[in-house]
Amino acid sequence: MSNRVYIKTVGCQMNVLDSEMVIADLKRHGYTVVDSADQADCVLYNTCSIREQAEEKTYSALGIIRQEKEKDPSKVIGVMGCMAQKDQELVFKRAPYVDLVVGPGQLHTIPTLLDKVRGGEGRQMAVSLGRKSGSQLEIARSHETFDPLRDPTMRPTPFQAYLRIQIGCDKFCTYCVVPNTRGPEQGRAPEQIYAEAKILAEQGAKEITLLGQTVNSYRFKHEDGTVTDMASLLEQLHDIDGIQRIKFVTNYPKDMTERLLETIRDLPKVSPYLHVPAQSGSDEVLKRMKRGYTVADYMAMMERIERILPEAAISSDFIVGFCGETEEDFQKTVELVKRCRYKNSFIFQYSVRPGTKASERLEDDVPRVVKSRRNVELLAVQDAIAKEDNLKLVGTTVEVLVEGPSKKGVKNDEGDHIIQMIGRTHCDRIVVFDGNRRQAGQFMSIHIDDASSHTLVGRVKTVEVVSIGSLV
């Protein structure tokens, strides 16, 4: 039997990492990876549930794959990730040609379940327990972190890697489906994280990005009762030779403590870049979202960051049009963006998610056109700020880790000549410059000549040669 697998991933970095892990696992089980669904014996969709639109896109992609299945009924179609956990049997109802449904806490079952489907045992499903479907321990155990051996060829670049330090979320923001789909918050043991980071370094990773839904709330309680928190974990990982940058996403404002900020300041490898979603600038809205802080608390956190890490770049997420959001509430969000001067913000229109508190108790009463208008308005404010701040960097020199050709570079790449390359600064700013493919994975100094709201444009800084005597 031929074993060709194709995986399509949508959603957050956690999904990207899950796909990397699943593919590495399947390769160890004899599978080879192909670039398109039509070449594959097994097609896996790694899905997202954060907004309705993400789910609808997946269901329509599944509708298209149906034709492939009709041409070749032996082709196995699998749905994994958050939508699998949330919809469970509903996936089979809405897309009857799906063979496999696997939640994010059950990814280790995929090779066995694929064997069962292909062995003629019919549809298979592996999902974790719901948040009220058992004891705390049973629920937590049913959501397993999946971090098998790493395979650098599975990543877009071998010198950058995601590393999971935490799964799940216990914050239960009223709009959010993640605590249901990814289960209780569980920190991974620091020894495991350290061992994985060492392997990544040996494989050539120069930059690691630590992943967790509320990554700075990371805690691991050891058997002797002592606790490793985020600051101690960063201190441990900082020792690893080869790793030169450590980033982490996503942060929860309330847990951005002075101790953590001081640790970031004192560890040069840790990027002074903090993604700390505010979600709204109105206390009334924050209360209905059950975010657990007020605008004053958030601003106190910004003041701590400014004092301890004055060079840090901050980014945020916002939801516009949440239940009951008035024009006045929205203007408070605009004000917050202006006060915080974020490097960038991701702005989303509120989408009702079944199973969340907001869907049960609050009315989705902001019309779609109003959500859309607020989205555009907030984005314009954010982009203008980002452009102003980026322009201040013109004339300076920044150090980037070169990632590879930019989209434009890929398009114009006809061989080994000068193309547009893309890199990122320690603060996560995107920089484009003319270079060549061999520079990927290197740290380079780039002189900035121009800037837009999302990108800095520069050129490789030539090293000044000071001549000592005559060389002739």
Contact residues: ligand SF4, CB under 6 A:
169, 171-173, 176, 178-179, 213-214, 252
Of positions 217, 344, 351, 420, contacts ligand 5AD by CB under 6 A: 351
Q: Which amino acid, residue 268?
A: P
Which of ligand 5AD, ligand SF4, none interacts with 319 (beta carbon under 5 to 8 A by kind)? ligand 5AD
| Residue 209, H or E segment | strand 207-211
What b/e string do you get for 13-40 counting C-beta neighbours within 10 Å, with b at 16 or more?
A: ebbbbbbbbbbbbbbeeebeebeebeeb
DSSP states along 119-175: TT---EEE-PPPTTSS-HHHHHHHS--------GGGSSSTTEEEEE-EE------TT
Nearest-approach distance from CB 175 to ligand 5AD, in angstroms: 4
Using CB under 6 A as the binding rule, whether residue 330 contacts ligand 5AD is answered as: no
Nearer to ligand 5AD, 269 or 291 (CB): 291
Token pair for 238: 């900082």
CB-based contacts of 99, cutoff 8 Å, min separation 6: 76, 77, 78, 117, 123, 124
277 lines the binding site for ligand 5AD (CB under 6 A): yes
291 binds ligand 5AD (CB under 6 A): no
* Alpha-helical segments (H) within 309-403: 327-340, 357-361, 368-391
Q: Does 175 bind ligand 5AD (CB under 6 A)?
A: yes
Q: Applying CB under 6 A, what is the total number of residues that bind ligand 5AD?
A: 12
Contact of residue 348 among ligand 5AD, ligand SF4, none (CB under 5-8 Å per partner type) = ligand 5AD
49 touches 353 (CB < 8 A): yes
- Token reading at 298: 């958030």
Q: Is 82 known to sit in a ligand binding site?
A: yes
Measured between alpha carbons, how far is 472 from 466 in angstroms, rounded to an integer?
15
- Find the binder of ligand 5AD among 353, 371, 374, 429 (CB under 6 A): 353
Report the residue number, 26 or 323, with the smaller CB distance to ligand SF4: 323
Q: Please state the closest distance from residue 171 (CB atom) to ligand SF4, in A.
A: 4
Q: How far apart are CA 248 and CA 214, in angstroms?
A: 10
Q: How far is the CB of 178 from ligand SF4 (least distance, A)?
A: 4
Q: Is 176 annotated as a binding residue?
A: yes
What H or E segment, with its residue span, contains residue 6? strand 4-9
Interaction with ligand 5AD in 75-94: which residues (CB under 6 A)?
Answer: none
Q: Look up tokens 């607020």; give the residue.
A: 374
Instruction: State how beta strands 430-435 and 455-460 pair.
Output: parallel
Residue nearer to ligand SF4 on the CB measure, 72 or 170: 170
- 323 appears as a binding residue in the annotation: no
Give the range of 148-156, 336-344, 345-353, 452-460 binding ligand 5AD by CB under 6 A: 345-353
In the complex, least distance from residue 252 CB atom to ligand SF4, rounded to whole angstroms = 6
Nearer to ligand 5AD, 51 or 426 (CB): 51
Does 218 interact with ligand 5AD (rule: CB under 6 A)?
no
Distance CA 451, CA 389 (A): 9
Phi, psi angles (nearest 5°) of residue 25: -65, -45
Tokens of 57: 């896109």
Q: Looking at 49, 85, 214, 279, which residue binds ligand 5AD (CB under 6 A)?
A: 279
| Interaction between residue 45 and ligand 5AD (CB under 6 A) | no
Residue 427 marked as a ligand binder: no
Query: CB 319 → ligand SF4: shortest distance, Å?
Result: 9
Residues that bind ligand 5AD (CB under 6 A): 50-51, 175-176, 277, 279, 317, 319, 348, 350-351, 353
Binding-site sequence positions:
12, 48, 82, 169, 173, 176
